Amino acid sequence: MAAVRPCLSSSCRASMVGPRRTYGTRVKGALWDKLANICHVSSLSSFQRVPVSSPVKTTRVAIRAMSSESKPASGLAIDLRGKRAFIAGVADDNGYGWAIAKSLAAAGAEILVGTWVPALNIFETSLRRGKFDESRVLPDGSMLEITKIYPLDAVFDNPEDVPEEIKANKRYAGSSKWTVQEVAESVKQDFGSIDILVHSLANGPEVTKPLLETSRKGYLAAISASSYSYVSLLKHFIPILNPGGSSISLTYIASEKIIPGYGGGMSSAKAALESDTRVLAFEAGRKRRIRVNTISAGPLRSRAAKAIGFIDMMMDYSSANAPLQKELSADEVGNAATFLASPLASAITGAVIYVDNGLNAMGVGVDSPIFAELNIPKDSH
């Protein structure tokens, strides 16, 4: 439901987030037995303890976003060590893009992000000053580490597409190489290749307008920023996506069901995104064995969603009517994305995966007074 301006970070100007820091943590041996890593599909009976050569009860360990375990844990695990992910559309710490970055990092993947150019400075500053430190904590106690941040505006494919008013805009001053083509080239120059591509951005400048009141300009802007941007992203990144890699986007149930208030062409943009997912799955699969899927996520109280104006109402509706009566967490979407990026999903492509507590399965709103006399079960937990 993101309604923010769809830009990601793209240039190679933003290297490490501030000065590189090594995070150390004093971990008691008993703590390892309690840790439950979200990257395990099946629950773990125990957590492997880090070998210690000293008889002391605690050990000092330096941690990165990568997994620190040298021995495989029991159970069916998701291990993305040695894999590199580029996530387009991360500009704060409370959206789905951030949650996906955390989950991928917890599985061992190296994280690169693309941030909308006008939001780049505040995002980097917040990271550098530690404002996101609490939300950077991974399940094993380590911290999410972003290897590099690229300024990106996914509305523009190449420098020739950028109008003069954007070039002269003060919010773009100081940044360079932020079109989709330039970002892909910068990532190739810096890292050679990636294994996972995530599209986590959308923008509908007239999202609060009913479709009948939406202008052509506003409608096409929503399509360009929210669906074609994914086509462009995959088009330019596929040459550096390793065969067998995974590409993931985020969609919303308004693509197939009527959601009053979600206007400005955004419902059409999400429908186009899902249709493109199927076509791209065929083309990218045949071309480089790349799997292409999209996650239809439920409502989240993110900064982007708040721009729509009725996100709290949608969350209340979901809690009242979904089979699972609980608030959806961003981490649940992040975990689903990590599964889709892993070898465990090696035969899944061209799919819309619903992560919405089952709301998509409902045909009626059971909180309607019409059903007041029915004995509708409620969550007793």
Active centre residues (catalytic): 252, 262
Distance in angstroms (rounded) separating the CA atoms of residues 14 and 11: 7
Distance in angstroms (rounded) separating the CA atoms of residues 292 and 288: 11
Distance in angstroms (rounded) separating the CA atoms of residues 179 and 131: 28
Residue with tokens 């530690």: 130
Distance in angstroms (rounded) separating the CA atoms of residues 338 and 135: 18
- Cβ neighbors of 236 (< 8 A, separation 6 or more) are 157, 180, 181, 183, 184
Token pair of 27 as six digits: 């971990």
